[in-house]
Amino acid sequence: MRITGYRTLSTLHRWNRPIGDVNGYVESGVTSIPLVLVDTDDGLTGVGLGNHDRLGSVFPALLGEDPRAVTALYDRMLAWAFKTGHGGATFGAIGALDMALWDLKAKAADQPLWRMLGARDRVVPGYASSLDGPLDDDELIRVQTAFAERGFRAVKLKGGLDLDGDLRRLALLRDVYTSTTGSVPRLMLDANESWSRKEAVAYVHRLEQQIDLAWIEEPVRRWDVDGHAMISRAVRAAVATGENLTGLEQFRPLIQAGAVDVLQTGSVWGITHFLRVAALAHAFDLPVSPVGYNANPLAHAAASIPNHLAIEVQDLTFPVGLTVDQEIVDGSLLLGDSPGLGYDVDEAAIAALADSMNWGGAAGPHVRPDRAGKRLLAPEPHLFASTSSAVDPTQDGHVHPH
């Protein structure tokens, strides 16, 4: 079997609600989902989800190769970017291709990826997360009731700018899940790198006077090792981070400094990256939690590692034109027996799409606001609102928020 080429497609996901975090939002709730299809000379096609940028710069490392040598080919792609560096969009392209290679490897073996990776169980524990930053209380309750009815017992809220609002919304989530499931849920808050160190400690201390938090996520900038360590020592909640780190070399300082309690990886960075981060974390007795993405591509790999905690599930539906062999049952992902990742791509349905797809452009969650990390003296949420209100939230963009 040899790799002959790749193709790209972009489908969309209809969230049926605005989505976002403290950094911005997508009012339309319609977002683009890039797909990469890797073709082989024996007719098998591997499916990867992730960045289209820089594919052309790393794909030559794969052309003509046997895709079943996936871990060696992952390192070959990293080597191909040796001088220019493998971070950012390049790492995303490597991750998308890596995902497609794992899909091909399992398809060639006629096995679901979870079984080929050595998992004993197809059930992957999860937690609910709806990218709910822009939702009002009624809509938050509606969306999270649907998650609770699927049996989730842990839930993450987007927040970090409005202390009273976060306390109220966390209490709402606690009540929704308790009344629906009969048990008190574990609660998490995701600040998406919006605080400085002292802002984070003060904010979480106030939250913990009333709410028992399982973890606080990305309280400060992703590379701030000393800041994460300080916050972890100062609060009761665990500190979770890592979704935006690209490469083991970026995780190592956090782990060595005892600065992280729950190690996260972004789904768009690929399966080999996740497996290597999980092995590194396991050496330090740290749990791993993959950050969610459409169709939950890291679920198969998560099923195979000993230190998996829970996978983030952001929605109960899947992108247009993508049939996914998995179910959401009792707060977990139940993986099927279809070969590979269990993705079936309807290229005709995707080609027929006419919807406008965006991630909110300058008003979206991937543009850092001017006030982020500078609210120590004036943390009121209206400052964020005034910063973003002049921006059209329908501008185009194509990057996924975590």
pLDDT tens across 262-278, in order?
A: 999 999 999 999 999 99
191 within 8 A of 219, measured Cβ to Cβ: yes
Domain boundaries for CATH 3.30.390.10 within the chain = 3-110
Q: Which CATH class is domain 114-351?
A: alpha beta
Beta-bridge partners for 9 = 35
Model pLDDT, residue 358: 60
Model pLDDT, residue 376: 76
Domain boundaries for CATH 3.20.20.120 within the chain = 114-351
> If you average pLDDT over residues 383-388, what whole number do you get?
38
181 within 8 A of 153, measured Cβ to Cβ: yes
**22 closest CA partner among 356, 335, 379:** 379
> If you average pLDDT over residues 112-136, what whole number do you get?
97
Is residue 379 over pLDDT 80?
A: no
CATH level 3 topology of 3-110: Enolase-like; domain 1 (3.30.390)
* Global pTM value: 0.91
**326 closest CA partner among 308, 311, 347:** 311
pLDDT > 70 fraction of the chain, expressed in percent and rounded: 91
pLDDT > 90 fraction of the chain, expressed in percent and rounded: 86
Model pLDDT, residue 386: 35
Model pLDDT, residue 179: 97
